[in-house]
Amino acid sequence: MSHYANKAFENLIKMAQNNNFIKPEHYDKYSVKKGLRNKNGTGVLVGLTKVGYVQGYDVIDAVKVPKEGALYYRGIEVKDFVKGFQKEDRMGFEECVFLLLFGKLPSKDELEEFNLLLDELRFLPDGFTENFLLKLPSKNIMNLLQRSVLFLYSMDDEADDLDVENLVRQSLELIAKIPTIMAYGYHATEHYFNEKSLFIHPPKRGLSTAENILHMSRHNSKYTKTEAEVLDLCLVLHAEHGGGNNSAFATHVVSSSGTDTYSAISTAIGSLKGPKHGGANSKVKLMISNIKDNVKNFEDKNELKNYLMKILSKKAFDNEGLIYGMGHAIYTLSDPRAVLLKEKAYELAKEKNNIKEFQLYSDVESLTKEIFKNSKGKLMCANVDLYSGFIYDMLNIPENLYTPIFAAARSAGWSAHRIEQILSDKKIIRPAYQHVHGDNDYTPLSKR
């Protein structure tokens, strides 16, 4: 910014600040549903979906009544889906992608054929790695994913075709290729920005998405069965979250204009990158490191609580006033994914002698709940992002891959929502904004 630090730029900033702020009372005056939320805290109904369903409360006599959270993919409760494939000692993510996109569980033959198809699609087009990833690395892998998806547009002869056959082809290509782009992009970043050796491990046929991510992103390509199973579970739990989550809704909005798949999915990646959405998993890791650096004895709950209050009052960490990994727009008492991931995190922490750190995460959860209950009477639960980063950390996955892994998983949900939008609702999404400026006359330049 320093090269812009002159009077003219300072004036532009002042004008930007003064002329773009709308007073909070205007929102009340015009009954604006901020964040598309009703007065009772429930979401405004803006669409229909068969893909995923999130339950976090009941509405009884127009009042929001909290309850334990539940998540359904195509009507199947996710915890049952997880139990199902784990009991049969299989990876679950590919089956989950099939379910989300095609609306039914695959038969054994369908799943085998589907895995073979994904095997072929994981490879990047000729020249893509050299021209778009190695020549143009980015410090941020989400940014790299976004523009790589857009580069794929230019290599697709049918890029703008909205036939369902083409939409399915493009969706599968992206779901299969995003992990490869993410792993290669990570190595390019490490090499060009952090002076590390450059590794490119091409995807391996016969490996699941989780196994391929570990194989492609690790220098030595080695991983254990447990590590692959844990990552697979994370992919399944991140794959979908209804039509109203910010990135799925962005997919619906952008798709409703009739634009191409690459534009829609890169938009969704941009949305997920935000720290209030998928980007929270990286923020959790940074926040926990910050707590360790600033709280002398983080096992002392009083000391920890005081520091969390400092974060909430914008006087510590990133000064945004948020405890990342906590809170949710729908869940009230619990996020079922956080419950499952907390159990997994505990198992891993025991194995890796890391219980002290597990306890820190768990204390952040319980103390944040306590602070919100006592100060605002507000129910607050851990969300999927609180324990996922801790798990990735224990799998030695670097922090700049946390949100990209989320994107790799959620690309399944986005694709299903895009296909649904294009097949079911041809109306362009176009809500209203009340104009609150008042009219002005145009003044000739000589008179200003």
Ligand X SMILES: CC(=O)SCCNC(=O)CCNC(=O)[C@H](O)C(C)(C)COP(=O)(O)OP(=O)(O)OC[C@H]1O[C@@H](n2cnc3c(N)ncnc32)[C@H](O)[C@@H]1OP(=O)(O)O
Which residues lie near ligand OAA (CB under 6 A)? 54, 241, 245, 329-330, 383-384
Show the DSSP H helices in 57-163 as ranges. 78-87, 93-102, 108-121, 128, 141-154
Q: Which is nearer to ligand X, 203 or 242 (CB)?
A: 242
Site residues for ligand X, 271-300, by CB under 6 A, read: 276-278, 280
The residue whose two tokens read 């990646």 is: 269
Q: Is 52 in the site for ligand X (CB under 6 A)?
A: no
Site residues for ligand X, 11-40, by CB under 6 A, read: 35
Answer whether 346's CB lies under 8 Å from 360's CB: no
Q: Is 328 in the site for ligand X (CB under 6 A)?
A: yes
Q: Which is nearer to ligand OAA, 70 or 200 (CB)?
A: 70
3-state secondary structure of 403: helix
First-residue to last-residue Cα distance in the chain: 29
Beta bridge partners of 346: none
Give me Rg for the CA atoms of the chain: 23
Cβ 278 to ligand X, closest distance in Å? 5
In angstroms, the CA 246 to CA 255 distance is 14
Known catalytic residues are 328, 385
* Residue 325 contact partner, candidates ligand X, ligand OAA, none, CB within 5 to 8 A by sort of partner: ligand X
Q: Is 384 in the site for ligand X (CB under 6 A)?
A: yes
386 Cβ contact partners less than 8 Å away, ≥ 6 residues apart = 284, 324, 325, 326, 338, 341, 342, 361, 364, 365
Q: Which is nearer to ligand X, 57 or 186 (CB)?
A: 57
Q: Which is nearer to ligand X, 277 or 418 (CB)?
A: 277
Q: Is 327 in the site for ligand X (CB under 6 A)?
A: yes
**Where on the phi/psi map is residue 367: left (φ > 0), alpha (ψ -120 to 50), or beta?**
alpha
* Residue 280 contact partner, candidates ligand X, ligand OAA, none, CB within 5 to 8 A by sort of partner: ligand X
Residue from 322, 340, 360, 391 in contact with ligand X (CB under 6 A) = 322
Cβ 319 to ligand OAA, closest distance in Å? 23
* Residue 261 contact partner, candidates ligand OAA, ligand X, none, CB within 5 to 8 A by sort of partner: none
400: nearest Cα among 142, 209, 46, 13: 142
User: Which region, judged by CB under 6 A, interacts with ligand X, from 85-93, 136-144, 146-154, 318-326?
Assistant: 318-326
Cβ 50 to ligand X, closest distance in Å? 21
Q: Which is nearer to ligand X, 14 or 26 (CB)?
A: 26
Cβ 280 to ligand OAA, closest distance in Å? 9
Q: Which is nearer to ligand OAA, 248 or 367 (CB)?
A: 248
Q: Is 329 in the site for ligand X (CB under 6 A)?
A: yes
Residue from 128, 151, 324, 392 in contact with ligand X (CB under 6 A) = 324
In angstroms, the CA 66 to CA 64 distance is 6
Interacting residue ranges for ligand X, rule: CB under 6 A: 35, 276-278, 280, 312, 321-329, 383-385
